[in-house]
Amino acid sequence: MSIEQLESIAQAMVAPGKGIIAIDESNNTIKKRFEAVGLPNSEENRRAYREMLLTTPNLSDHISGAILYDETIRQSTRAGVPFTKLMLDNGILPGIKVDKGPMSLAGFPGELVTEGLDGLRERLAEYAKLGAKFAKWRAVITIGDDAPSATCIDANCHALARYASLCQEAGIVPMVEPEVLMDGDHDIEICYDVTEATLRSLFGAMYEHNIMLEGSILKASMVISGKGCEEQADIDEVAEATVRCLKASVPATVPGIVFLSGGQSDEQATAHLNAMNQMGPHPWPLSFSYGRAMQQAAMKLWAKDMRANFDDAQKTVAQRARENGLAALGQWHKAG
Q: Residue 105 has what pLDDT?
A: 98
Q: Residue 163 has what pLDDT?
A: 98
Q: Residue 292 has what pLDDT?
A: 86
Q: Residue 3 has what pLDDT?
A: 77
Note if 219 is an active site residue.
Answer: yes
User: If the chain, 336 residues long, is cut into consecutive pieces of 10 residues, what is the mean pLDDT of each piece?
Assistant: 89 98 95 95 97 98 98 98 98 98 96 98 98 98 96 98 98 98 97 98 98 98 97 97 98 98 92 97 97 92 95 97 98 83
Query: Which listed residue (177, 179, 196, 323) is catalytic?
Result: 177
Q: Residue 161 has what pLDDT?
A: 98
Note if 237 is an active site residue.
Answer: no
Q: Residue 158 has what pLDDT?
A: 98
Task: Give CA separation, 52 vs 23, 75, 196, 212, 240, in Å.
Answer: 12, 13, 38, 36, 36
Kindly report the number of other CB atoms within 10 A of residue 142's CB atom: 18
Domain 3-327 has CATH 3.50.50.60: no
Q: Residue 335 has what pLDDT?
A: 75
pTM, whole model, 2 decimals?
A: 0.97
Q: Residue 50 has what pLDDT?
A: 97
Query: Which listed residue (18, 133, 136, 219) is catalytic?
Result: 219
Kindly report the number of other CB atoms within 10 A of residue 213's CB atom: 19
